[in-house]
Amino acid sequence: MAKHDWQLDEVKELFNLPFADLIYQAQTAHRQNFDPNTVQLSTLLSIKTGGCPEDCKYCPQSIHYDTGLNPDPLMPLDDVLAAARNAKAGGATRFCMGAAWRSPTYSQVNQVADLISAVKDEGLETCVTLGMLDEVKTQTLAEAGLEYYNHNLDTSPDYYGDIITTRTYQDRLDTLRHVRDAGIKVCCGGIVGMGESRKDRAGLLAQLANLPEHPESVPINMLVRVEGTPASEWEGISQIEFIRTVAVARIMMPSSFVRLSAGRTEMTLEGQALCFLAGANSIFCGDKLLTTPNPEKNEDMQLFEELGITPSVA
Ligand code: SAM
Ligand code: DTB
Ligand code: SF4
C-alpha cells in the first residue's frame, strides 16, 4: 500500500540522507516498480501562448511581466495535428498541449476537446494543461478521451504566496479533485530553484504524496530563469539538490512516473544521468518546452545511447 500520510520531518530525513544512501533507496524503489533502463518520452506544444492574467512570478507568459514574448491565440487544428504527427514519428508516446489561461471558458474547453480527439486518432496519449477547471469542464475533457491533466502545485503551501497571488493553493487542489473525479489521470508536480528552502521542497513533495491518490505523473521542473520575470533574480539550487529532490519524489511516490521536466538545458549530461539513477523515468523531448528551449532530440538520444536507456513505448 502506498503511503499517504507523510509528515514533514520524515521527508526532511530523506533529504538529509547521505547521497549514496538516498540514491540507493530511490533506485531500489524504482526497480521494484519500473524497468530502470526505460524512459518515457512526452512532447510539449504550446497551443495558446502568452497574455495570461495570472501573476506566477516564474512565468514568461504572464501579462504582468515584460518578457518580450509574442502572444498567440489558440492554434488551429491542422497545425496541432502536424505537430502531433511529427512527435509520433520522433518516438513520443504522449502529446501534451499547454495553454496560457487562468481558466478556459466552456467554449475554449470544447475547442480543446476537438484537438484531443484528433490527436488521439493519431495514436498518441493526450495530456493538456489549461489552468483551473470545474466539474463541467473536466467532464467535457473526459468525454473527449483525455488521458492526463497537468496542473502543478508548484511549491509548498507556505512558500506559495511568495510566488502567485492571483489564485490560491486551495484553488489548485480543487482543480486536481475535479480532474480525479472525472476519471482523468493526474499529472502534478512543481518547480524547484525558486529561492525556496529545503523545507519547502519537502513540503511540496508531502502535498503531492498525501493527495488521496498519488499523481500518475510527477513533473519536477528546475526553474527556467526568464529575463523580465521576477524569478530571473532568484537564487537557484545545485544540481545535486535537484537530484535529491527527484530521489525523494521517487521514494515517496514509487509507482508514479517522475518527469525530469523543465531546466535540462542548464544541467550537465552527468547531472541528468544522475536524475535517471535517482528514479526519473520520463522527459519532455523536442527542442522547445512551451516558450523556452529544451535539449535537441539528437542530444537526448545520444545520452540515452551512452546510458543504455531505451525510450519507452508504453
Ligand atoms: N496556465 C496553466 C497553469 O498554470 O496551470 C497551464 C500552463 S503553465 C505554463 C504550466 C506549468 O509550467 C506551470 O504550472 C509551471 O509549473 C510550469 N512553468 C511555467 N514557467 C516555468 C519556468 N519558467 N520554469 C519552470 N517551470 C515553469
Ligand atoms: C510542467 O510541469 N512543465 C511543463 C509542462 N508541465 C506544461 C512546462 C514547462 C514550462 C517551462 C517554461 C516555458 O517553456 O515557458
Ligand atoms: Fe498563466 Fe500558467 Fe504562466 Fe501562471 S504558469 S502565468 S497560469 S500560463
What pLDDT is attached to residue 152? 98
Task: Tell me the mean pLDDT in the region 174-182.
Answer: 98
What pLDDT is attached to residue 169? 98
pTM for the whole structure: 0.97
With cut-offs at 50, 70 and 90, classify the pLDDT of residue 2. confident
Q: What is the pLDDT of residues 63-101, one digit of tens each?
A: 999 999 999 999 999 999 999 999 898 888 889 999 999
Rama region for 97: left / alpha / beta (φ>0; ψ in -120 to 50; rest): beta
Ligand 3 proximity of 47 Cβ (cutoff 6 Å): no
Alpha helices in 129-168 (DSSP H): 135-143, 157-160
Yes or no: say if 148 and 94 are a contact pair by the CB < 8 Å rule. Answer: yes
What pLDDT is attached to residue 314? 52
* Cell numbers found for residue 66: 515584460
The residue type found at 49 is T
The catalytic position among 172, 180, 201, 259 is 259
Yes or no: say if 77 and 104 are a contact pair by the CB < 8 Å rule. Answer: no
Q: What is the pLDDT of residues 63-72, one digit of tens each?
A: 999 999 999 9
- Classified as helix, coil or strand, 203 is helix
Kindly report the CA angle at 100 between 95 and 102, in degrees rounded to 5?
120
Q: Which helix (H) or strand (E) holds 310?
A: strand 310-311
What are residue 305's phi and psi, to 5 degrees?
Answer: -60, -45
> Is 172 part of the annotated catalytic residue set?
no
Task: Tell me the mean pLDDT in the region 303-309.
Answer: 97
* Distance in angstroms (rounded) separating the CA atoms of residues 281 and 24: 16
Q: Mean pLDDT, the chain, as a whole number?
A: 96
Ligand 2 proximity of 291 Cβ (cutoff 6 Å): yes
> Is 31 part of the annotated catalytic residue set?
no
Q: What is the pLDDT of residues 122-176, one digit of tens each?
A: 999 999 999 999 999 999 999 999 999 999 999 999 999 999 999 999 999 999 9
What pLDDT is attached to residue 93? 83
Taking the centre of ligand 3 as the mean of its atom positions, its distance from the CA of residue 181, in whole angstroms, is 24
* Distance in angstroms (rounded) separating the CA atoms of residues 71 and 69: 6
The full length of the chain comes to 314
Yes or no: say if 280 and 38 are a contact pair by the CB < 8 Å rule. Answer: no
Distance from the Cα of residue 312 to its chain's centroid: 18
What percent of the residues of the chain are helix, what percent strand, and what percent coil, each to the nearest 5? 40, 15, 40
With cut-offs at 50, 70 and 90, classify the pLDDT of residue 33. very high
